[in-house]
Each structure stands twice: as C-alpha cells, then as structure tokens.
Amino acid sequence: MAIEYPDIVSEYMDAGERYECDGVQVVPSLEPPRVSIGGYTLLVFLFQSGVDVPVDVIVEPAFPTTGRRRGSPMLEIGERELGVRLEPAQVGTLYVPIKTTEAAREGQHEIKLNIKVKGATAANRVRPQGADGGFRSDLIDDVVGLDLGRVLGVPFTSTPTRKIRLPITIQGQADTTEEIPSKAAKFESLWTVEEAEAQARAFQEVDDYRVAITTGMLLEPMYVGLLVEGQHRLAQSAVPLRVGEAIALAKTLTYTACHFLEDPRLQDGLLVPIWELAQEYELPTGDPLWVLRNAGFGHLMRLSVALSFGLVARALGSHPWDLDERRGLTRLIAGSLEAEERLPVEFVYIPLLAASTIIAHEVHVEGEDVGHSLRLLKKARAARSDVLGDPELAEARKTFDRLLEAALKRQGG
C-alpha cells in the first residue's frame, strides 16, 4: 500500500476478529446483548473503511420469527434497509434501535445481517485486512481508549463475508417505565483522513527529535516534575494530596512513562499522542518534561491507570476488577482531571496508589528512604478512613492494605 492509515477500531472496542465486506471492516454488536419482551436494545455497527474512495454500505437485517415460514418477526426497527456513506478511509458507528414485537418469545435467537458495499470496485487499499504485529504488553491487556491501537497498531484478523449472524437473547419482561428511544438510526463519524495528517505530523516531530526527547526525560527530574504536577492536578479536582499520596502517585506516573520510554517499540505510544496535542494547541515542544506535564498529563494518566491494573493483577495473580470496571475507572479518573471536575479520592487509591506500593523500590530519588515513603502512605491511608471505610469499598480496601503491608515488609518495616 502506498498509504496506510491507522487502525481506529481498537480505540473503541476489543476487535481482534472482524468481518470485512469489499474493503469495509464491520464489527457488529448488541448493547445490551439481552432484551426483555416489550423492551429495546441497540444494534451497533462499527464501520472502518479500508479503501481510498467513498463507498455506500447497505445492511439488510433479517430478524428471528415465530415460525419457519411466514412467521411473525420478534424484533423490529424503524427502517427496512440501513445505509451509510463512508468517505475515503472514514470510520464511524451506526446506532440502530431495536424493539421487540408482540410476537417475541423468550429464548436464544439470531439476527441475520446481509452486507453490501457499493463503489469500491476501482479502489486502492489504505488499511490492511489483518495485522500480526502491534502493541503487546504483559501489563496492559486492553487498549480501548488509550491511543495505543491507532499509533502502534494491534494484532487482528478479518473474515471476508457478506452475511453475519448475531446472537440475541430475549428474556423477561420490560419495565413499563423504560424510556422509549427514537426509532431512527443514527450515524456518528469517529475518524477521517484529516486526523491521520495530524498524527503523521506528530510522529515526524517525535522521530526527528527522538534522542533529545528521550534523553530529556530522565527519571529523577521527571519524578520531581510529576510530583508537583500530580499535586496540582488532583487539587483542581478537589483531592488535596497528603505527602505520602503525592509521592506514591508520582512514582506510578514516572514508572509508566519509563515503561514506554525504555522500550523502543513502545515509545511512540507515549510520545505521539502527546506531541499531537501540543501541536494542535501550538504549544512549545523544546522542553520534553514541560510537554509531558502540560500537554501529556491526561494521556499519561490513562496509561498509568491501565498499567496500574496490570501491576495489581500480576501481584495478586488475577484481576480483582472486570474489564468494564477497569475501562470505566480509566475514563473517570483521566476525564475528571482533564475537566477539573471532582474526583472521589478512593479512585486515586485504586488502582494508582495501590500500584505504587508494588514498584516503590524501582522509582526513587537519590537519598530517598523508600520505607519512610511507604510509611507516609500508610499514615495518609489511615487519615482517609472515613472515605475508605465505606462497606462498598471493603474488597478494594483489603487489596490496598495487603499490597501496602507486603511492600513495607520488603523494606523491613
């Protein structure tokens, strides 16, 4: 391919396996996958064009019926045929409200989707049908929303087809107070080629000044800068950090940055989105640490939350939180800090400060007594007993305390 555009699907969902029809990748889903009799669900299509010309995507859904011949359909939508026009390489989501009919019966059923793509006959590919390489990490097992998939790529495969079968469960009766959604399908554009140009400009600057950028982000000055920045950002979100908490947060942020900077295969995953934002707002980029603090704090925070979950899971042998909880917390923590909105302090402890106990000995400045820093964190934790004592946080509290005590034991105190 003369031009290859980034994979955007992986920024919105885990889609290692996809369908493809005439150059357009299709990832269908139901949100939620179960619908009650008298209720609604959303049929969601994520379309990613892999060609350099405009195309029309047409979807003809066939819903389950009460019988094999001339049975009544159990589901219905506002339009018989669904259509979307995609510009060259465009990525977007089509939302289609689905309602159960009076003929609906409980059980496991299947929606059949017939896909047609018009206009791609004279097209050139600008995205591959699959990829073997891309981002891999023992600590981050989910890249959704992290700007890693579009920058570094992810492994995926596409199955060529024009027919897709989507399972759906009909179960229970709908709440009569359930809000009735619009019957109209809605298309939302997620990415166009103009955004590829911005990413390419950021990559070029990072590549041109890579040595200066990476050598300008040494551990100790980066830790000190992030210590100050972390306190400032958290205070803006109504979380004034105690000394032990500020130290712990700075350690997690610094460890995350070093995790990416020290691996040449991962560097761009940290740097390109940050330089992209700096260029968008015309910020100076001569001082890499300044750029990290002022343009990159939100991106670094998202990566830090995701990596913190991985550190905690590795220490415990399994993930204490499911994938939806982890994604939700990642969005909440970074989003609250970027918008300067109130952030509950318990979400700083889990997972960011919990992870800091695991790597406390790996990130320290000259003359620091790591055991003393951990004891300061323990003191700060005790001062938060009114919040962390909530019964709903019992498991999270136990997890944090277990990890902190293990870290103190390693340091002899």
- Between helix 267-280 and helix 297-316 the angle, nearest 10°, is 160
Same-domain status, 185 and 206 = no
Domain match, 264 and 335 both: yes
What was the pLDDT predicted at 392? 83
Q: Are residues 345 and 392 in the same domain?
A: yes
- Please report whether residue 365 resides in a domain: yes
Q: How far apart are alpha carbons 226 and 246 in whole angstroms?
A: 9
Q: Are 400 and 354 in contact (CB under 8 A)?
A: yes
pTM of the entire structure?
A: 0.93
Residues 63 and 147 in one domain: yes
98 and 157 assigned to the same domain: yes
User: Of the candidates 171, 191, 211, which is a domain's last residue?
Assistant: 191
Q: Are residues 177 and 269 in the same domain?
A: no
Report cis status (omega within 30 of 0) of the bond before 240.
no
With respect to residue 128, please indicate whether it lies within any of the assigned structural domains.
Answer: yes
Fill in the amino acid letter for 292. L
Please choose, from the candidates 298, 356, 360, the residue with its C-alpha nearest in 3D space to the C-alpha of residue 330. Answer: 298
Show the 3-state SS of the chain.
Answer: CCCCCCCCHHHCCCCCEEEEECCEEEEEEEECCEEEECCEEEEEEEEEECECCCEEEEEEEECCECCCCCCCECEECCCCCEEEEECCCCEEEEEEEEEECCCCCCEEEEEEEEEEEECCCCCCECCCCCECCCCCCCCCCCCCCCCCHHHHCCCEEEEECCEEEEEEEEEEECCCCCCCCCCCCEEEEEECHHHHHHHHHHHHHHHHCHHHHHHCCCHHHHHHHHHHHHHHHHHHCCCCCCHHHHHHHHHHHHHHHHHHHCCCCCHHHHHHHHHHHHHHCCCCCCCHHHHHHHCCHHHHHHHHHHHHHHHHHHHHCCCCCCHHHHHHHHHHHHHHHHHCCCCCCHHHHHHHHHHHHHHCCCCCCCCCCHHHHHHHHHHHHHHCHHHHCCHHHHHHHHHHHHHHHHHHHHCCC
Both 74 and 119 in one domain: the answer is yes
In a domain? residue 352: yes
Tokens of 36: 């009650």
Residue 29 lies inside a defined structural domain of this protein: yes
Question: Cβ(335)–Cβ(232) under 8 Å?
Answer: no
Cβ neighbours around 42 below 10 Å, total: 16
Q: What CATH number does residue 42 fall under?
A: 2.60.40.10
Q: What is the pLDDT of residue 315?
A: 96
* C-alpha neighbours within 13 Å on the C-beta side of residue 8: 25
Kindly provide the b/e burial profile for residues 212-240, where b requires at least 16 CB atoms within 10 angstroms of the residue's own CB: ebbebbebeebbebbbebbbebbebbebe
Same domain as 203, residue 124:
no
40-83 pLDDT tens trace: 999 999 999 999 999 999 999 999 998 776 789 999 998 878 99
Residue where a domain stops, chosen among 141, 173, 191: 191
Amino acid identity, residue 373? S
Beta bridge partners of 46: 27, 93
Along the chain (413 residues), what's the average pLDDT of each consecutive run of 10 residues? 90 93 96 92 96 96 84 88 94 95 93 93 91 91 96 96 96 75 88 96 98 96 98 97 98 98 97 98 97 98 98 94 94 96 94 97 92 96 87 89 95 75
Is 186 a member of any domain?
yes
Q: Does 1 reside within a domain?
A: no
Enter the tokens of residue 229.
């920045």
Q: Which domain covers residue 144, as residue numbers?
A: 9-191
Judgement on whether residues 260 and 173 belong to the same structural domain of the protein:
no
pLDDT computed for residue 413 by the predictor: 62
Number of compact structural domains in the chain:
2
- Residue 155 sits in the same domain as residue 202: no
Same domain, 136 and 221: no
Cα dist from 23 to 55, 70, 94, 180, 296, whole Å? 9, 35, 17, 35, 35
In a domain, 2, yes or no: no
Considering the domain architecture, whether residues 207 and 310 belong to the same structural domain is answered as yes
207 vs 112: CA distance, rounded Å: 47
Asked if residue 389 belongs to a domain, the reply is yes
Of 165, 191, 217, the domain-final residue: 191
